[in-house]
Structure 1
Amino acid sequence: MTTTPLVLRCQGRPVGRYLHRPDLPARLSPRPYLHPVTTLGGTTVTEEQPADHLHHLGVSIAVPDVGARNFWGGRTFVRDQGPTALDNHGEQRHDGWKLRDPDGFVEDLSWRAGDTELLRERRTVAATAVTPTAWALDVTFSLTNPGPDDLSIGSPATNGRPGAGYGGFFWRAPKEPAAPDVFTAHEEGEGEVHGRTADWLALSGADWTLVFAGATDDTRKDPWFVRTREYPGVGSSLAWADRLPVPAGGTVVRRVVTVVADGRLDRAAAGTLIRKALS
């Protein structure tokens, strides 16, 4: 069932559409997501179900392995076998709003595999102005294990695929004729920033720039998952090298702030904007 999306606004302008009950097939691991997200000037900076990865859904919280269930979509990486089509997809279900305003919301969700609830989530999303040409998307998610047994979060990397430690906050950007630039305060290029931690990371396309930053100590410890040549996407990885335990009754919290700016920013401008957004 699809319901009317929530329109996210900043300075009175629509900057994002949040689909909290999308009508998606099970193989895409149905989940709420933001698309389109735009700059204040109206440029779209997300992509939804692109041909190269149909399960990429704008901005979402997506995890390939929660207790062996796929909340990412697509095939599952199986050790000593590779990417495999399995009937193991989970679903993130919208349970209700705790707050719903034009510039943000607080939402309760359940992560389910059939009748089993693996995780409960409290998600907080806010849009705030940074400059006349830039705004910030602030996303916090808290994942609680409600069951009596411990579970853990994994990734293709923890299941045997080196360098594929994706899972958590993920932003799929639009593919353009030229690959976007990617850089941090000290490094530049996919090969130099992928799989490493950094206080912030920028992805810059033809006429837009996204600047991502972890806004808590735990989030800043998560390496960045980065793609530019194959497709443009950035994620903050929950399980880069080792599985992340979520004990019974335990909670994992992460917060990512993303500056969405018109124009191609250089390193100095990107750093200035993200510091302002975090202040």
Structure 2
Amino acid sequence: MTATAPGAPVVLRVAGRPVARYVTRPELPARLSPRPCLHPVTTLAGTAVTELSPADHAHHLGVGVAVPDVEGFNFWGGRTYVRDQGPTELDNHGIQRHGSFQLRDPDGFVEELRWVAAGTELLRERRTVAATELTDTAWALDFTFSLTNITSGPLSIGSPATNGRPGAAYGGFFWRARKEDAAPEVFTAGAEGVASVHGTRADWLALTGRGSSPSGGAEGGGDWTLVFAGATGTTRRDPWFVRTAEYPGVGSSLASEARLPVPPGETVVRRIVTVVADGRPDRDEAAALVRKAVSQ
């Protein structure tokens, strides 16, 4: 395990190249629901594919886990959707607190986090993140989180959709992608466009954008593609939450049609593997990269 000062960002590397920076203790206002996150995440060529607190949604924090409703507490940030009232500013924001690293290496880490709201710890999370090389133009981010209810009573996870806002079942793993001049394209193995893929349980989903600068680097770069796969084996596959027009973002929906119950002592486990690629692979190439990434 590499030696790192407490609270210092963890830098993930693939083939010796830095590809992601993990911040454990971001200094953010309470209404943004502070939480550990990955930003910036880049392709192997250095093109940034995440944003942190962008102007359109200040509570979007790179790559991480964000849930808008844990027993009424907001771990997403921003306003809370209230049934028959709409988005409302409430003093109900929780915080994800970094506890410790059980493992910390250049290619990944295992972390313990505490989800705290109103002075009470509701959930204990174990987060496992690994970065692996796939090709000379693509790498994979393997992200698993386990949420355990450590209270003496039942908890449930909700979303704006379960609280009365159709189509807004966000909450879970979430990736805020880089906003370019043009909205990115989105497709799965059998569909294309937000209207066709949002809310589906496709094996994988690709988001691809055109770079804003040919020079590369964190402030620009060439074309990029993210391919998300809800890995099977340990959990059911959740529906995908997708946005491209207002902002580019992809996540998995823990609570889509109904609230997700978490009884005392029970654990919710999810694994998302994301291919981070330079260029614009087609469907067959995207599928091949996903198969390789999930099997590693």
Fold in common (TM above 0.5): yes
The equivalent position to 2:92 in structure 1, one of 83, 88, 98, is 88
| Structure 1 Cα separation of the partners of residues 7 and 116 of structure 2 | 20
Q: Give every structure 1 segment of 4 or more consecutive aligned residues whose post-TM-superposition deviation is greater than 3 Å.
A: 217-220
When normalised by structure 1's length, the TM-score is: 0.98
1:124 paired to 2:128: yes
1:180 paired to 2:184: yes
1:235 paired to 2:255: no
| Structure 2 Cα separation of the partners of residues 173 and 129 of structure 1 | 20
The equivalent position to 2:204 in structure 1, one of 177, 195, 200, is 200
Aligned residues: 278
Could you report, residue by residue, the CA deviation over 1:165-211 in whole angstroms, capped at 9, with x for unpaired residues? Answer: 00000000011111101000000000000011100000000100000
Partner of 1:168: 172
Q: Is the 8 A contact 2:231 2:237 kept in 1?
A: no
What secondary structure, in the 3-state scheme, does the structure 1 residue paired with 2:128 have?
strand
Q: Decide whether aligned partners of structure 1 residues 220 and 131 sit closer, same or farther in structure 2, where only a CA change above 3 A counts.
A: farther
1:57 paired to 2:57: no
| Structure 1 Cα separation of the partners of residues 146 and 234 of structure 2 | 12
Letter in 2 for 1:68: G
Aligned-pair identity (%): 74
| Structure 2 Cα separation of the partners of residues 114 and 75 of structure 1 | 17
When normalised by structure 2's length, the TM-score is: 0.92
What secondary structure, in the 3-state scheme, does the structure 1 residue paired with 2:199 have?
coil
Q: Is the 8 A contact 1:216 1:254 kept in 2?
A: no
Residue ranges of structure 1 left out of the alignment (5+ in a row): none
Query: How far has the Cα of 1:115 moved from its partner?
Result: 1.7
Letter in 2 for 1:240: S
Partner of 2:81: 77
Letter in 2 for 1:259: V
The equivalent position to 1:134 in structure 2, one of 138, 148, 155, is 138
1:33 paired to 2:49: no
* Bigger mean CA offset, 220-229 vs 230-239: 220-229
What secondary structure, in the 3-state scheme, does the structure 1 residue paired with 2:228 have?
strand
Q: Decide whether aligned partners of structure 1 residues 86 and 167 sit closer, same or farther in structure 2, where only a CA change above 3 A counts.
A: same
Residue ranges of structure 2 left out of the alignment (5+ in a row): 1-5, 211-222
Could you report, residue by residue, the CA deviation over 1:143-186 in whole angstroms, capped at 9, with x for unpaired residues? Answer: 00001100100000000000000000000001111110100000
The equivalent position to 2:22 in structure 1, one of 18, 21, 29, is 18
Q: Is the 8 A contact 1:92 1:110 kept in 2?
A: yes
The equivalent position to 2:231 in structure 1, one of 215, 219, 223, is 215
Name the Cα RMSD after superposition.
Answer: 1.0
What secondary structure, in the 3-state scheme, does the structure 1 residue paired with 2:134 have?
strand
Query: How far has the Cα of 1:94 moved from its partner?
Result: 0.3
